[in-house]
Structure 1
Amino acid sequence: MWLSHVVNRYNVVLMLQLLSVLPETMIHVRAHQTCEVGREKNEDDDFRWVLPYKDPCQCKKVRYGGLNTFTPKRPFKPVYVEKPLVGDNVGEIRDHYDLNCIDMTCPINASVEGETDPGQPTGMITWKTKAIGNDGEPLSVVCDPPLGFSFPIGHTNITCLAEDQRGNNKSCAFDVSVIDKESPEITQCPLDQETITSPGATTAMVTYLTPNATDNSDDVISLICSPPSESEFHLGRTNVSCLAEDSSGNNGTCNFEIHVIDKEPPVFSTQCPADRQMVTSPRNATAMVTYQTPNSTDNSGEEVDVVCYPVSQSEFPIGLTTVTCVARDGNKEPPVFSTQCPADRQMVTSPRNATAMVTYQTPNATDNSGEEVDVVCYPVSQSEFPIGLTTVTCVARDGSENNRTCDFKIEVNGK
């Protein structure tokens, strides 16, 4: 009451003693900060109440402040009133000082992240905004681009605006980031293929069709296969890996196998011994024959075994004998199944039996030697299989005792 009495009588001296001097520029107030209402002279040299803040909507509490004997220059327009109001009731503060405030909430950290939609170069990103008017009622918020927009990969700036019926508005801005985590898809990946070495070489020049790659971003930076097509592949099996990468660093792969086999026989580097005639040893019906075993080389570069029969330094009978020399390289490639192993299947027991008669097609196999390959399966086809699960193993074996297996399962159930 005493302070009110002083104010009403414009006792400037007492006001100066009781209150501090108002700052000349109060531009920004942090949320929930206390603001001060004071007095200053106008152009007519009359005192008036002033709330000297650039954004008084951020004032959550008002208390008495100081006094200016002049009107300072400010880069904003302060709020002038005939009578002051102090306290911490935000609604009353805004009504009394005629503040048209809008409280607006936008995404935290001013950024929203999301991923592209499957198979698309865009992503449907959502966010939440809220605006409350001076009267405490919610206001509609309009964003550009709007919710429901398909955003491209990368960063897009969003501006949202809320406006009340009196034309007061408030805006906020944030970024939408669409991240592409979808890997490129490689199509038409080559099948495994088999080839033979080039004449006299340990390698084969292999050419294959480079696969295609597609990506949801429509932007595949590179597609590289290693080893590349039209390059030399060594004897044996080589895995070819193709890698496709998009502009976001995602990658997709496909793999296939190149099998280089050696079907080139060794070559005799020295001539076979010439035909010749011998006479029997004294009082014998045979003759001791000695000859030089020929040498042989192979495209593989490996040592070649040469075996002749009948062997040198052995007894030859009377008559004409042919000596055969065989040069064999180190090719130990097992046979390859040219037809698939039978599929797994289920059977039921024969009537009044605890077994089932099972018949299957024995798979075929081929060998790099060109020779016929024996394939044996056990248990054999057309035999009785007991109740339960039985694994059938098929073995393909070539003349060099190299072998390869495949297996399948027969399950017999009782009736």
Structure 2
Amino acid sequence: MFVTGADEEDPKITGCPSDITLNTDSSLPYTNATWIAPNATDNSGNVTLVSTHDSGDEEDPNIIGCPSKITVNTTAMLPYANVTWIAPNATDNSGNVTLVSTHDSGGGFILTTTTVVYTATDPYGNQAICFFNITVSDMEPPVLYNCPNDTVIGTDTGLATRNYSWTAPTADDNADDNPWISSNIYSPHVFEIGVHNITFNATDDSANVATCSFTVDVRDMEPPSFNGTCPSSPLEVPTDIGEMFATVMWNIPTAIDNVNVTMITNSSYPGLQVYFNLSSLYDLNVTYIAFDEAVNEELCNFLVKVIGKKAYYWELHIYLHINAQCTVEFYKGKKTQHFLRLLLSQIT
């Protein structure tokens, strides 16, 4: 058995425009009439809508208040900026217009120039476009961390320089993952005596620069050295033949320095006549002091002892009495009684 059905339901047209009464265009025998076309539906799901006349709306919508170019800097410590603006308005002769945008006000914009486009569309497919550019710039310099502190150091032993090392700082940036760090002097470095300024520059992709610096003050803290030329102490010297004194001679000490010896002072000179003295542990104290350009000093000190001879007492006769008194008789004596009294005091 065959069943044949027939669709007897007419399509439906909705939104049919009302009658339109117009005047002719100025100086013309006609006018362009526009209307919004109706819609047609059918239970079959397939319907064709045709018209004896087409709407004459060929006028594009109008966009009012399109923003001008916007230039902003990135938000602090961020690689983008949130940008806001007043959205434009759109009008159309049809009284019905849709306005859409590629970007929304208040959104985040990265480091570049972005074009924002607004499109106004009326029901007849007529469109108007406005656009403006948003340029985001990075004006924020990097941040340097752990810049070395100023330091005061001495020269290396025996040298007029110092080989010094330090750890360079690190850098962070809001937009550049790896800022370039440069310096006028790199570690390690051999410094001469004086104050040296080391500067670090951190540069990001936008050529923003951050700077930090520290000083290295190299000083000569090393004293001169007599380098083994200082005479041994005590320096024992016998009296001159037939004399109460000794003519004391020694090699004048010399000094060296890592920079420069500027002066050597001394308390005595070789060739002095030093008298024999039993009452003293030494007869002469000799001091040399060496100075360098930094006024560091080194001391050379030695003692001189004049050694008397047994025959030197010039046939001195000493008589000790039971009552612990001592008398002195001398003959052929040629020296002063002061010396004899001194000698006597040492014997008794």
TM bucket normalised to smaller: 0.5 to 0.7
Q: Against the structure 1 CA distance between its residues 116 and 279, is the aligned structure 2 distance closer, same or farther, given a 3 Å change threshold?
A: same
Where does 1:174-193 land on structure 2 (aligned, <5 Å)? 174-193=132-151
Give the stretch that moved more between structures: 192-201 or 266-275: 266-275
Q: Against the structure 1 CA distance between its residues 135 and 314, is the aligned structure 2 distance closer, same or farther, given a 3 Å change threshold?
A: farther
Q: Displacement, 1:315? A: 5.8
**Which residue number in structure 2 is paired with residue 328 of structure 1?**
291
Name the CA distance, whole Å, in 1 between partners of 2:295 and 2:102: 71
Q: Secondary structure at the match of 1:325?
A: strand
Conserved 8 A contact 1:293-1:308: no
Conserved 8 A contact 1:143-1:160: yes
Q: Give the structure with higher Rg (CA).
A: 2
Conserved 8 A contact 2:63-2:129: no
Q: Aligned pair count?
A: 245
1:294 matched to 2:241: no
1:145 matched to 2:108: no
**Amino acid in structure 1 at the alignment position of 2:291:** R
**Amino acid in structure 2 at the alignment position of 1:325:** Y
Name the CA distance, whole Å, in 2 between partners of 1:99 and 1:240: 70
Q: Secondary structure at the match of 2:253?
A: coil
The correspondence for 2:30, drawn from 80, 83, 108, is: 83
**Amino acid in structure 2 at the alignment position of 1:295:** T
Q: Against the structure 1 CA distance between its residues 281 and 134, is the aligned structure 2 distance closer, same or farther, given a 3 Å change threshold?
A: farther
Q: Displacement, 1:296? A: 2.3
Conserved 8 A contact 1:184-1:220: no
Name the CA distance, whole Å, in 2 between partners of 1:238 and 1:207: 13
The correspondence for 1:227, drawn from 157, 171, 185, is: 185
Q: Displacement, 1:180? A: 0.5
Q: Displacement, 1:254? A: 1.7
Q: For the aligned residues, what is the CA RMSD? A: 3.8
1:202 matched to 2:149: no
**Amino acid in structure 1 at the alignment position of 2:220:** D
The correspondence for 1:117, drawn from 46, 71, 75, is: 75
Q: Against the structure 1 CA distance between its residues 248 and 309, is the aligned structure 2 distance closer, same or farther, given a 3 Å change threshold?
A: same
Q: Displacement, 1:168? A: 2.6
Q: Against the structure 1 CA distance between its residues 97 and 222, is the aligned structure 2 distance closer, same or farther, given a 3 Å change threshold?
A: closer
Give the stretch that moved more between structures: 112-121 or 322-331: 322-331
**Amino acid in structure 1 at the alignment position of 2:293:** G
**Amino acid in structure 1 at the alignment position of 2:175:** S
**Which residue number in structure 2 is paired with residue 247 of structure 1?**
205
Q: Displacement, 1:135? A: 4.2
Q: Displacement, 1:291? A: 5.7
Q: Against the structure 1 CA distance between its residues 289 and 135, is the aligned structure 2 distance closer, same or farther, given a 3 Å change threshold?
A: farther
Q: Against the structure 1 CA distance between its residues 178 and 193, is the aligned structure 2 distance closer, same or farther, given a 3 Å change threshold?
A: same
Conserved 8 A contact 2:60-2:128: no
Name the CA distance, whole Å, in 2 between partners of 1:128 and 1:136: 25
Conserved 8 A contact 2:160-2:192: yes
Q: Displacement, 1:114? A: 0.4
Where does 1:219-368 land on structure 2 (aligned, <5 Å)? 219-268=177-226, 271-272=229-230, 275=235, 277=237, 279=239, 293-300=252-259, 302-311=260-269, 316-318=274-276, 319-331=282-294
Conserved 8 A contact 2:178-2:204: yes
**Which residue number in structure 1 is paired with residue 45 of structure 2?**
none
The correspondence for 1:101, drawn from 46, 49, 61, is: 61
The correspondence for 1:214, drawn from 139, 153, 172, is: 172
**Which residue number in structure 1 is paired with residue 19 of structure 2?**
none
Give the stretch that moved more between structures: 265-274 or 114-123: 265-274
Name the CA distance, whole Å, in 1 between partners of 2:171 and 2:206: 15
Unaligned runs of 5+ in 1: 1-61, 65-80, 86-95, 334-367, 370-415
Q: Displacement, 1:244? A: 0.6
Structure scoring higher RCO (CA < 8 A, sep ≥ 6) equals: 2
Q: Displacement, 1:297? A: 2.7
Unaligned runs of 5+ in 2: 1-24, 33-55, 277-281, 299-348
Name the CA distance, whole Å, in 1 between partners of 2:271 and 2:93: 120
Name the CA distance, whole Å, in 2 between partners of 1:182 and 1:115: 8
Name the CA distance, whole Å, in 1 between partners of 2:156 and 2:168: 22
Q: Secondary structure at the match of 1:304?
A: strand
C-alpha deviations, 1:309-351, integer Å up to 9, x for none?
Answer: 2345666453542422221212159xxxxxxxxxxxxxxxxxx
**Amino acid in structure 2 at the alignment position of 1:83:** Y
Name the CA distance, whole Å, in 2 between partners of 1:201 and 1:271: 21
Name the CA distance, whole Å, in 2 between partners of 1:165 and 1:314: 126
Q: Secondary structure at the match of 1:268?
A: coil
Q: Percent identity?
A: 25
**Which residue number in structure 2 is paired with residue 162 of structure 1?**
120
Conserved 8 A contact 1:130-1:138: no
Conserved 8 A contact 1:220-1:245: no
Name the CA distance, whole Å, in 1 between partners of 2:182 and 2:241: 73
Q: Against the structure 1 CA distance between its residues 140 and 329, is the aligned structure 2 distance closer, same or farther, given a 3 Å change threshold?
A: farther
Name the CA distance, whole Å, in 1 between partners of 2:200 and 2:153: 20
**Amino acid in structure 2 at the alignment position of 1:188:** N
